[in-house]
Amino acid sequence: MPLLSLRGLTKSYAHRPVLRGVDLDLDEGEILGIAGPNGAGKTTLVECLAGLREKDGGTITVAGIDPSRPTPELRRLLGGQLQQIRVPGVLRTREVLELFATFYPDPLPPDQLMEEFDLSSQSDQAFAKLSGGQQQRLSVALALIGRPRIAVLDELTTGLDPAARRRIWAQLERRRAEGMTMLLVTHSMEEAQRLCDRMVILQDGEIIADGSPQQIVGRTGVQRTTFQAELDEAVLTELEECEDVDAVARSGGAIAVDGGDASPQAVLAHLARRGIRARGVGVDRPTLEDAYHRLVTGEEHENAAPGARPAAASGARPADERTLR
């Protein structure tokens, strides 16, 4: 049974739909990433499942509990970090952590969290005088202080420098190894690739993709295999018929094959069976960012491998039609 489950979740603002019947499950020990363009409904979804915003329709259960009716058990189960933290500006970093620790029966020690999130030197600094990055790190620490089973993290590394991002990622990876479940809203495909077991992409309040980062790349990305070889038209046509190949192009002795994950191995294996040696083999693989861009815009990302051109269904094409772009 999923630890967290959404069914038919809907929410509108002033008759404008923001969530349109979202179905989503989160399993114990999983890190699930939620990505999507601004206005896709990501933060609204998080606020609804945390009990901070009332849904219009559908059901939400967190370990069998409806978050719209908060209970002490739910507060122990769920830890949240939202885009903005609201605490009295005069409270010092240590005081904020000590205050939040009183909300839980078995909190993590404030000193441990300040060490883990590089806040020890700011322990006596007033919250209002912390930098944006320091406030962000404190917000993540507060989400974890109660040892939650589920941590809900909304753009947790926005505004952080690369070193601070990686430090937080390392802390989350450690907690995943300890069995914590996480729901992570992110705009960073690097973050999603590193942390997420699975991710969904929201657009206009609907899920348009769901799978592991590798699966999402594999379903939407086109990779290009390039090599040098002297091939006649018959062999080029044979390559077009290999597994997972979308298109083949030639310019002189340079060959380019566009296709899915299985295409490089299929093409090279076919050449080997024909006794043809491919020289200078390279594979330009699409990234998660390429796949995300293609999903939300319908266009190739500027850094993606060039798009596939349709392979011939049968018969060879004239050589001048097989031109590398």
Distance (Å, rounded) from C-alpha 189 to C-alpha 286?
A: 12
- Are residues 259 and 205 both part of a single domain? no
**Residue 307: CB partners within 8 Å, gap ≥ 6?**
222, 258, 300
Distance (Å, rounded) from C-alpha 87 to C-alpha 128?
A: 9
Q: Is residue 183 part of a domain?
A: yes
For residue 176, give both structure tokens.
Answer: 């995943």
Identity of the amino acid at 252: G
- Are residues 51 and 72 both part of a single domain? yes
DSSP labels for 89-107? TTSBHHHHHHHHHTTSSSP
Distance (Å, rounded) from C-alpha 204 to C-alpha 177?
A: 34
Q: Is residue 166 part of a domain?
A: yes
Distance (Å, rounded) from C-alpha 196 to C-alpha 192?
A: 5
- Are residues 234 and 108 both part of a single domain? no
- Are residues 280 and 153 both part of a single domain? no
- Are residues 207 and 268 both part of a single domain? no
Q: Which of 171, 189, 211 is the last residue of a domain?
A: 211
pLDDT tens-place values along the chain, 325 residues long: 899 999 999 999 998 999 999 999 999 999 999 999 999 999 999 999 888 899 999 999 999 999 888 788 888 899 988 767 788 999 999 999 999 999 999 999 999 999 999 999 999 999 999 998 999 999 999 999 999 999 999 988 888 889 999 999 999 999 999 999 999 999 999 999 999 999 999 999 999 999 999 999 887 767 889 999 999 999 999 999 999 999 999 988 899 999 888 899 999 999 999 999 999 999 988 889 988 998 998 765 554 444 333 333 333 333 334 444 4
For residue 237, give both structure tokens.
Answer: 């046509």
Q: Is residue 216 part of a domain?
A: no
- Are residues 90 and 41 both part of a single domain? yes
Q: Which of 211, 236, 270 is the last residue of a domain?
A: 211
CATH number, residue 89:
3.40.50.300
Distance (Å, rounded) from C-alpha 165 to C-alpha 187?
A: 13
**Residue 88: CB partners within 8 Å, gap ≥ 6?**
127
Radius of gyration of the chain measured on its C-alpha atoms: 25
- Are residues 122 and 95 both part of a single domain? yes
Distance (Å, rounded) from C-alpha 236 to C-alpha 84?
A: 57
- Are residues 22 and 71 both part of a single domain? yes
- Are residues 58 and 203 both part of a single domain? yes
- Are residues 87 and 232 both part of a single domain? no
Q: Is residue 260 part of a domain?
A: yes
Which alpha helices (H) appear in the chain, and where do they start and end?
42-49, 72-77, 93-101, 110-116, 132-144, 162-177, 189-195, 213-220, 233-240, 263-273, 288-297
CATH number, residue 249:
3.30.70.100
- Are residues 129 and 68 both part of a single domain? yes
- Are residues 130 and 271 both part of a single domain? no
Beta strands at 78-81 and 150-154: parallel, antiparallel or unpaired: parallel
Q: Is residue 217 part of a domain?
A: no
For residue 107, give both structure tokens.
Answer: 């909190």
**Residue 220: CB partners within 8 Å, gap ≥ 6?**
209, 286, 291, 294, 295
Q: How many domains does the chain have?
A: 2
End-to-end alpha carbon distance in the chain? 50
Q: Which of 173, 189, 211 is the last residue of a domain?
A: 211
Domain that holds residue 156: 4-211
Distance (Å, rounded) from C-alpha 306 to C-alpha 325?
A: 8
Do 117 and 171 contact (CB within 8 A), yes or no? yes
Cα four-point dihedral sign 51, 52, 56, 58: negative
Residue 173, number of CB atoms within 10 A of its CB: 13
